[in-house]
Chains A and B, each alone.
Chain A
Amino acid sequence: MSQTFTIDGRVIPFEIGQTVMQAASQAGIYIPHLCYHPAFKPNGSCKLCTVKVNGRQSASCTLRAQSGMVVESDTEEINAERRTLTQMLFVEGNHFCPSCEKSGHCQLQATAYHLGMMSPHFDHFFPDRAVDASHPDILLDFNRCILCSLCVQASREVDKKQVFALSGRGIGTHLIVNARSGRLADTDFSLADKAAQVCPVGVILKKRTGFAVPIGQRTYDQQPISAPGKVAEEIRHD
C-alpha cells in the first residue's frame, strides 16, 4: 500500500524518495514553478513552488514527501506571496511582453496569468543587460533572464558542455557564457543542445522563427499553464 499525504485536502499517493512537487505533478496537481524541471535535480531557487507544510513554508520541489503531511498550496495567502515573487521577477528584468518572441509560450508570463498578476506593483529596475546575437542560430536576450539556471544544468548535465554559468552575487547575479570573449558564437553551443530547449522565458531563442504563431493561437492562449501536462508541452514546443 502506497503512502499518502494531502494537498489542499486531497489525498496524494507517493513513493519513498519523491518530492512533494513530483507527487503532486503525478497526481495532476499544478504547483506554480519556474526553476523546476522534471528532468533535472531541483535547486529550489525561484521559490514559486513554496507551499505550507504542517504550518511551515517550504519549496515543494526540494521537500521530500512524507506520510501524513498536510500541505496547503492553492490558498489565497500562498498565491499572494507567489504573485509578489512573480512581480519582483518582472521588475528586476526587462520583460516587455508585446515585443518578446516568447510571448504566449513563456512560463513566467503564463504563471503570472495563473496568479492573476494585473500589474508589476513595484518600481522597475530597467537594468542594462546585453543581447548576444553572435551565434548563427541562437539569440541570447539577457534582459529576460530570471536566473532559473535550467540552461546551466542542461548544458552541464546533458550536453556535457558547460556553456552557461551564473556569475556574481545577490542582485548582481547574472547569466554568463563560458567563452573568453563571453560570446555565444565562441562556444560549441548548438540548437540541438538540451540547454537550447529548457529556457522558461525568452532568453535563449531560435533565430528566424519568431512570431511564427499569431497571438491567440500560442501555447498559453489555448490553455492556462495549470492545465495538465502544459509545462512539459511548452518545453517541447521549443
Chain B
Amino acid sequence: MIEPRKKIKVATTSLAGCFGCHMSLLDIDQRLFTLLEHIEFDRSPLTDIKNCSPDCDIGIVEGGLCNTENIHVLREFRRNCKILIALGACAINGGLPAQRNHWPLAVLLEEVYHTSPGPANGMIPNDPELPLPLDRVHPIHEVVHVDYAIPGCPPSGDAIWKVLTDLLAGREPELGHGLLHYD
C-alpha cells in the first residue's frame, strides 16, 4: 500500500495588518480545495490554533510590527517555519500603520486618547497585559530573515495562489505583469 504523501504544513498570522491579506487567501476560492490536497493549516486565524508547531514548512505573515507582541509572534514563526513569506504591503514596508512613523508615539497616544471624542475617559491604557507599542512601525524583514514576499494591498488571491503553487512545485516563485502589484 502506498502511504499518502505528507502534507505541507502552513502557518499564517496577522500582525499589524487589517486581515485583508487573509481575505485574499480566501479569494483563492475553489482552488483552496486543490491547495488543501497538498497543504494543511497549522497556527492561523483560519484554525484558531494559538502557537506554531515546530515543524511548519511555510509561514505566511501579514502585517508589520507595531508592538512587542508582533515581534514575539514573528520570531515564533521564524523559529518554527522553514520558509517565511511576507504577505502584503504592511509586512513588506509597514504599509498604512507605518504612516504614523512621522509622529512621536506620545503625540499619537495623546491624540487618540485625550482628544474628544475619545474612549476610556481620556486615559491612555496602561494594563500590564497590553503589549508595549513600538516607537515606529517596522516591516518584518527588519527583524527576521524573510524568504519571499508577495506585494500588494492586499495581494490578489491569484498572486498568493501563484506563489504557493510555485513553491509546492519546487519552482522559484515569480509574479509577472498583472500579478505583481504594490497597491
A interface footprint on B157-173 (CB within 8 Å = 1, 0 otherwise): 00000000000000000
Task: Report Cα–Cα, A89/B63, bound state, in Å.
Answer: 22
Of the listed stretches B38-46, B72-80, B86-94, name the one at the interface; the rest are far from the partner chain.
B86-94
A-B CB pair tally, cutoff 8 Å? 68
Report chain B residues within 8 Å CB of A97: 89, 153, 182-183
Residue B180 at the chain A interface, CB threshold 8 Å: yes
Which of B96, B148, B153 has the most chain A CB atoms closer than 10 A to its own CB? B153
Report chain A residues within 8 Å CB of B92: 119-120
Q: Quick check: B149 and A119 within 8 Å, CB to CB?
A: yes
Residue B114 at the chain A interface, CB threshold 8 Å: no
Report chain A residues within 8 Å CB of B180: 113, 116, 118
Residue A95 at the chain B interface, CB threshold 8 Å: yes
Within 8 A of A (CB), among B35-63: none
What's the minimum C-beta distance from A68 to chain B, rounded to whole angstroms?
35
Residue B175 at the chain A interface, CB threshold 8 Å: yes
What's the minimum C-beta distance from A46 to chain B, rounded to whole angstroms?
19
Total chain B interface residues with beta-carbon distance under 8 A? 30
B interface footprint on A204-228 (CB within 8 Å = 1, 0 otherwise): 0000000000010000010110000
Of the listed stretches A35-43, A123-131, A167-175, A177-185, name the one at the interface; the rest are far from the partner chain.
A123-131
Of the listed stretches A3-11, A98-106, A156-164, name the one at the interface; the rest are far from the partner chain.
A98-106
Of the listed stretches B26-34, B117-125, B135-143, name the one at the interface; the rest are far from the partner chain.
B135-143
Task: Report Cα–Cα, A215/B92, bound state, in Å.
Answer: 20
Of the listed stretches B6-14, B98-106, B126-134, name the one at the interface; the rest are far from the partner chain.
B98-106
Task: Report Cα–Cα, A223/B178, bound state, in Å.
Answer: 9
Q: Quick check: B142 and A124 within 8 Å, CB to CB?
A: yes
What's the minimum C-beta distance from A222 to chain B, rounded to whole angstroms?
10
Q: Quick check: A123 and B142 within 8 Å, CB to CB?
A: yes
Q: Quick check: B183 and A215 within 8 Å, CB to CB?
A: yes
B interface footprint on A81-96 (CB within 8 Å = 1, 0 otherwise): 0000000001000111
Q: Quick check: A103 and B86 within 8 Å, CB to CB?
A: no
Task: Report Cα–Cα, A221/B177, bound state, in Å.
Answer: 8
Task: Report Cα–Cα, A123/B178, bound state, in Å.
Answer: 27
What's the minimum C-beta distance from B159 to chain A, rounded to whole angstroms?
11
Q: Quick check: B136 and A98 within 8 Å, CB to CB?
A: no
Task: Report Cα–Cα, A215/B93, bound state, in Å.
Answer: 20
Report chain B residues within 8 Å CB of A118: 148-151, 175, 180
Residue B95 at the chain A interface, CB threshold 8 Å: yes
What's the minimum C-beta distance from A88 to chain B, rounded to whole angstroms?
13
| Contacts A/B (CB < 8 Å), 15 sampled | A96-B89, A96-B98, A99-B96, A109-B182, A113-B181, A116-B175, A118-B148, A118-B151, A118-B175, A118-B180, A119-B151, A120-B92, A124-B139, A124-B142, A126-B98
- Write the residues of chain B forming the contact surface with A, with a CB cutoff of 8 angstroms: 86, 89, 92-96, 98-99, 101-102, 136, 138-139, 141-142, 146, 148-151, 153, 174-175, 177-178, 180-183
Nearest first, the 3 closest Cβ-Cβ pairs linking A and B are A98-B153, A97-B182, A119-B149
